[in-house]
Amino acid sequence: MNATHDIAARSLAAVWHPCTQMQHHETVPLVPVSHGRGAWLFDADGKRYLDAISSWWVNLFGHANPRINAALKDQLDLLEHAMLAGFTHEPVIRLSEQLGALTGGVLGHCFYASDGASAVEIALKMSFHYWRNSGQGEKREFVCLQGSYHGETIGALAVTDVALFRDAYGPLVQRAHVVASPDARQAQPGETAADVARRAAQDLERLLQERSGNIAAIIVEPLVQCAAGMAMHDPVYLQEVRRLCDTYGVHLIADEIAVGCGRTGSFFACEQAGIWPDFVCLSKGISGGYLPLSLVMTRDAIYQAFYDTDVRRGFLHSHSYTGNPLACRAALATLAIFEDDKVLERNRERAAQLTAALTPLREHRRVKHFRRQGMIWAFDADIPDDAAASFPRRIFTQALQRELLVRPIGRTVYLMPPYILDPEDSALLGARLLDVFNDVVEA
């Protein structure tokens, strides 16, 4: 018996783990983390794991980051929390100002919550309520994309097109319209990613022609549908959707919970299409992976539709920890690192290093659709159907043996590392992932 084993057993007895068939832990190990340092997590026995997926896509600048730690320690002695109704504080004001400035003032109003699903529900409610305040209460339907993922609360599931969740909880959910995904992997011979994107936009246009009078908003994950298996698309899709939303009077909600904060190469993914949506949802990386924080940014025209003497025309939504000062300070420290370290620029070098280290995988005979967008890498395993079900668990387990934290989605293996990998980390990650993949697919 070792320390890790005892802690895992206690956890399995008392903790119900997220999105997990708990019985699988009879064969799949549970890893008790004792501490983290940079890109590495350490378990109770001193074994280490390179966090190649940023702990579910949240960690941007490593674990126990000295600058974020210092900001939090400072904030702890000032104010841990105060309610945001009737009160305000410097961290939430500064964060709203700085984020608004990153959109050139276009999305100058920030509304706060604690998790991504809540941010999605806030954007949906705000859109609906905007239309009702504008005398168009019949606009109450939503549109999402095939394979979309926007969170797992009952409201967010309405715009989430994941069969597993839909089948389990479908009867509870008011379903949105589902339109074609612009996933570039659907390209027919001779077709470009932009062709696929235009074809998907035509599918949306058909729906809007018919029903735009009842539709409040479309929600998209710009550039990468992450939970769908890192499905990437051409930015022209976002331009087309923006144009259609303007033509048909429908809001565009950009769920940048996973793709925001520099993940795709620009701070907001939408910047690469040269458009601004009507709402942006942020969470995950915004606090550097430290504390639960989410927010919705929107335009002045939307904000003004709620501005009134009548409380019922105000936006009726709140959470106990709205605008938590500690989380906002972590976010401010995160934004400061982006600026001070020229992170977006330096990520281009980091991306080139890791891409080079992944060359043998890109050329592997069992690899299809090797792809990258910014600091996201993905490829699909070309394996028989009967091997697919156990593939993610086998990769995860083999990766742990080789000091890597990697969790495939179906047949898709992806990397979403923190923005701090040095050339040695990248070389190690590329070499070990190749070994892991060979262990599993050549077995």
Return residues touching ligand PLP (CB under 6 A).
115-117, 120, 149-151, 221, 226-227, 255, 257-258, 283-284
Residues forming beta bridges with residue 48, ordered by sequence position: 42
Provide the minimum distance between the beta carbon of 268 and ligand PLP in the complex, in angstroms, as a whole number: 13
Minimal CB distance residue for ligand PLP: 116
Provide the minimum distance between the beta carbon of 256 and ligand PLP in the complex, in angstroms, as a whole number: 8
User: Quick one: 181 or 212, whose CB is closer to ligand PLP?
Assistant: 181
From CA 198, how far away is CA 29, in angstroms rounded? 44
Alpha carbon of residue 371 to chain centroid: 17
User: Quick one: 7 or 95, whose CB is closer to ligand PLP?
Assistant: 95
Provide the minimum distance between the beta carbon of 194 and ligand PLP in the complex, in angstroms, as a whole number: 23
Residues forming beta bridges with residue 109, ordered by sequence position: 298
User: ∠359-365-370 over CA atoms, to 5°?
Assistant: 50
User: Quick one: 266 or 438, whose CB is closer to ligand PLP?
Assistant: 266
Provide the minimum distance between the beta carbon of 73 and ligand PLP in the complex, in angstroms, as a whole number: 25
Place of tokens 């979309």: 148
Cβ 82 vs Cβ 89: under 8 Å: yes
Sheet holding 279-282, edge to edge: 109-113, 294-298, 279-282, 251-255, 215-220, 141-145, 177-179
Q: How many CB atoms lie within 10 A of CB 137?
A: 12
At 323, list the tokens.
């605008």
At 98, list the tokens.
């700085």
Provide the minimum distance between the beta carbon of 156 and ligand PLP in the complex, in angstroms, as a whole number: 7
Write out the DSSP string of 204-226: HHHHHHHHGGGEEEEEE-SSEES
Contacts of 372 (CB under 8 A, 6+ apart): 351, 355, 378
User: Quick one: 183 or 255, whose CB is closer to ligand PLP?
Assistant: 255
User: Quick one: 144 or 200, whose CB is closer to ligand PLP?
Assistant: 144
Provide the minimum distance between the beta carbon of 117 and ligand PLP in the complex, in angstroms, as a whole number: 3
Residues forming beta bridges with residue 231, ordered by sequence position: 225
User: Quick one: 149 or 419, whose CB is closer to ligand PLP?
Assistant: 149
User: Quick one: 344 or 409, whose CB is closer to ligand PLP?
Assistant: 409
Provide the minimum distance between the beta carbon of 322 and ligand PLP in the complex, in angstroms, as a whole number: 15
Cβ 228 vs Cβ 148: under 8 Å: yes
